[in-house]
């Protein structure tokens, strides 16, 4: 029988190793794109959407204009905007359609994925590969995980997003502390 603490430690170790494999140049390009965008729109499906929502929230906490695609208050995109898509497979049909529309509208696209050579990868201006596994692709990623499905990718995306915001704030000279976050945090809870 598996021990929950030992399994938790194995997962944490796996994530640390996985995050160390991310290309720094792609991460820097994503930071630059966020800082140069008028507005940032984030999209994903399933658990990837939950992780990308975390990134969108932290961007808002920094004072950037940040939206999650599909929310009722999300406005139309325009040239000068950035669309960040999180998709392990890079093949999710609704996200491909969304990226094609964004491209036609002159929106820059960044993709966080396991598979840079996917349909979404070919549409994106910036592709950041997070190694992982997913049952939604027949391609072998070459990665082995102690976790099922897309867990490794999704958890890595969440941790990467939090680290990205810390580095983005540092590069831009923005305040990122409890007081600055709480000044923009939801207060009707």
Query: Distance between CA 120 and CA 35 in Å, rounded?
Result: 22
Q: Active-site residue among 17, 71, 138, 154?
A: 154
H helix or E strand, kind and range, residue 40 = strand 40-44
**What residue ranges define each of the domains in the chain, with the CATH number in brackets?**
4-184 (3.40.50.10490)
User: Per-residue pLDDT tens for 33-53?
Assistant: 999 999 999 999 999 999 999
User: Per-residue pLDDT tens for 71-120?
Assistant: 999 999 999 999 999 999 999 999 999 999 999 999 999 999 999 999 99
Distances (CA, A) of 5 to 8, 11, 12: 5, 10, 11
Active-site annotation holds for 71: no
User: Per-residue pLDDT tens for 16-25?
Assistant: 999 999 999 9
Q: Give the model's pLDDT for residue 5.
A: 94
Q: Which of 13-27, 140-154, 157-171 has the lowest mean pLDDT?
A: 140-154
């Amino acid at each position: 029988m598996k021990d929950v603490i030992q399994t938790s430690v194995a997962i944490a170790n796996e994530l640390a190793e996985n995050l160390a494999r991310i290309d720094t140049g792609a991460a820097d390009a994503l930071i630059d794109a966020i800082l140069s965008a008028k507005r940032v729109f984030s999209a994903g499906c399933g658990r990837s959407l939950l992780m990308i929502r975390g990134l969108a929230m932290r961007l808002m906490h920094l004072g950037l204009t940040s939206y999650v695609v599909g929310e009722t208050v999300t406005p139309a995109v325009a040239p000068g905007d950035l669309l960040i898509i999180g998709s392990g497979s890079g093949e999710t049909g609704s996200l491909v359609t969304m990226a094609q529309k964004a491209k036609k509208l002159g929106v820059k696209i960044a993709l966080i994925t396991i598979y840079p050579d996917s349909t979404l990868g070919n549409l994106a201006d910036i592709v950041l590969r997070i190694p992982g596994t997913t049952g939604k692709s027949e391609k072998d990623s070459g990665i082995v995980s102690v976790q099922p499905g897309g867990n490794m990718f999704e958890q890595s995306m969440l941790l990467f997003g939090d680290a990205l915001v810390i580095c983005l704030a540092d590069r831009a000279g923005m305040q990122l502390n409890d007081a600055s976050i709480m000044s923009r945090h939801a207060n009707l809870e």
